[in-house]
Amino acid sequence: MTSETIDPRTPVLVGVGQWVDRTSAPGEGLSPMDMLATAARAALADSGASGDVAALIDAIAVVRLFQDSGFGAPFGKQNNLPWSLARRIGAVPRRYLYGPVGGNTPQMLANLFMAEIAAGAHEVVLLAGCEPIRTQSRAQKAGITLDWAEDAPTDAETPGKDGRFVSPHELAHGIALPVNVYPLFENALAAHYGREPVAHRRAIGELMARFTEVAATNPFAQIPVARTAEELITPAGDNRYIGYPYTKYLNANMFVDQAAALLLMSVAAADRLGVPAAKRVFLHGSADTVEKVLVTERVNYWSSPAIRVGGQAALAAADATISDIAHIDLYSCFPSAVEIAADELGIAHDDPRGLTLTGGLPYFGGPGNNYSMHAIAEVAARCRAAPGSRGLVFANGGYLTKHSFGIWSTAPRPFHRADPATYQQEIDAMASPPLVEKPEGPGTIETFTVIHDRGEPAFAIVIGRLADGGGRFLAQIHAGLEALVDAPAIGRPVTVSPGDPVNRARLA
């Protein structure tokens, strides 16, 4: 099939733009609005289209910034970032959209708007996102006040709606920031793989060292530095433990100035605008899934049924198997996200294709909810360089909660998107272990992490099981924490007592 014979409403990605700032002095970095505009102009130029493409954009969607995801906006709010972006590039779209919270959002928005273009609802759509946290934090430390406030005449709409990620009971026990939660998955994985803790830390160091090597050669990486496995896993100096077994170098780096943008349009619009065939990248398969939302509802802590189901759906839509995929970018906020996604998709951790195209969130950079827009841009570049090859983007939001998948290729292909409800029902039907909020008596550790404060052990979060099938519970341990570091702990007996609101456990 060629572009000449394909349905003219078929959606296609035609332009990508990326931007990074590693050098500006405190107070001199770009505002988020100007970051967005810089990446958007790059995407428009990348398309090779002729004429005033910006004037033809009929929808702009911006990925939600950290400042609007509960982290605060110290330099002023903007009530409609898509409108602010439109002003700067000369666009007057019919719709302004501001994405929900979640790192799955860039691929989710691509899936959504590709479907809307195919349905005739839009012809030219711009997606963009950024994070200015490097500039923001450096200005705050220097005592510099910036003015980023901007009022638009109307508010943006939000596609979908944000649901709960955490319950009050979970929040009381420390299940809040991702740095506290992803280590729970990691320690469960070590036991699942049958590895001693020290050997497992070495394995994740070797995995992520390969990511640093990719970041070191990426011109858009925030920290283009290759590190050894030993450097990554050794808790020394600045690389202190955050949540065991993760040191700082194994956590996503949100202190970035990065932006990315994607230009989508119909084949008919691409033809009218003279977009070269070599620039066009088609979405062969897509999927969006949601895990059992609360961490305490999960089937276990070393797998993700929603990744398995979503990956299978996306591959089936593309008439492909995982062995057909040439270019892979797995969401990499923490090593456990990479390991679980690779396991569920059937990819070896040392697959010669590699598991990242950017270098990953700890090293390339973790620009808030927008990381995977950079991944899509990298996949598009690889597909263009090897026409007909296919690339996979796996994007994740929450605590391995929301997942979006995209399979991209320059080979023209009719667009088809299955209703996510058709495969989501399989996940929703899975049984969750009962949660006992006021546990008492003997139990065992199902998984755990030791939360550190400035490198020193502060407390342990424990997810456990009561004896004799009595249900799952949450608790904290505050004494004897050294016995949980670099020592087998999964399955270890504990005695738990109810608290108000925090349950306490002690090693038996």
Spatial distance between the Cα atoms of 262 and 13, rounded to a whole number of angstroms: 7
**Per-residue confidence (pLDDT) for residue 468, from 0 to 100:** 85
- Residue 291 above 60 pLDDT? yes
Spatial distance between the Cα atoms of 150 and 338, rounded to a whole number of angstroms: 38
Q: Which CATH superfamily is domain 11-165+253-428 in?
A: Thiolase/Chalcone synthase (3.40.47.10)
State what percent of residues in the chain have pLDDT above 70. Answer: 99
Average pLDDT, the chain: 96
Is the domain defined by 441-507 classed in CATH 1.10.3720.10?
no
- DSSP designation for 501: S
pLDDT tens for residues 6-29?
999 999 999 999 999 999 999 999
Query: Which H/E stretch holds residue 111?
Result: helix 105-118
Spatial distance between the Cα atoms of 355 and 358, rounded to a whole number of angstroms: 9
- Residue 2 above 70 pLDDT? no
For 234, half-sphere exposure in the C-beta direction (CA atoms, 13 angstrom radius) is 7
User: For residue 407, what are the β-bridge partners?
Assistant: 285, 392
**Per-residue confidence (pLDDT) for residue 201, from 0 to 100:** 98
**Per-residue confidence (pLDDT) for residue 320, from 0 to 100:** 98
Output the pTM of the full model: 0.97
Tokens describing residue 43: 């995407």
- Residue 1 above 70 pLDDT? no
**Per-residue confidence (pLDDT) for residue 3, from 0 to 100:** 56
φ/ψ (deg, to 5) at 134? -60, -55
**Per-residue confidence (pLDDT) for residue 73, from 0 to 100:** 86
**Per-residue confidence (pLDDT) for residue 71, from 0 to 100:** 75
State the pairing for strand pair 124-132/59-62. parallel
φ/ψ (deg, to 5) at 437? -80, -25
pLDDT tens for residues 444-484?
999 999 999 998 999 999 999 999 888 999 999 999 999 99
- Residue 4 above 70 pLDDT? no
User: What pLDDT band is residue 162 in, cutting at 50, 70 and 90?
Assistant: low
pLDDT tens for residues 303-333?
999 999 999 999 999 999 999 999 999 999 9
**Per-residue confidence (pLDDT) for residue 93, from 0 to 100:** 97
pLDDT tens for residues 484-494?
999 999 999 99
**Per-residue confidence (pLDDT) for residue 164, from 0 to 100:** 77
Average pLDDT of the segment spanning 128-143: 96
Q: Ramachandran region of residue 95, left (φ > 0), alpha (ψ -120 to 50) or beta?
A: beta
- Residue 265 above 60 pLDDT? yes
User: What pLDDT band is residue 165 in, cutting at 50, 70 and 90?
Assistant: confident
Task: Show me where the domains of the chain are located.
Answer: 11-165+253-428, 441-507
Average pLDDT of the segment spanning 275-285: 98
Residues in Cβ contact with 330 at an 8 Å cutoff, skipping those fewer than 6 apart: 337, 338, 341, 342, 345, 347, 355, 356, 394
For 288, half-sphere exposure in the C-beta direction (CA atoms, 13 angstrom radius) is 19
pLDDT tens for residues 336-350?
999 999 999 999 999
pLDDT tens for residues 40-95?
999 999 999 998 999 999 999 999 999 987 778 899 999 999 999 999 999 999 99
Spatial distance between the Cα atoms of 156 and 63, rounded to a whole number of angstroms: 12
Contact 341, 331 (CB under 8 A): yes
**Per-residue confidence (pLDDT) for residue 159, from 0 to 100:** 82
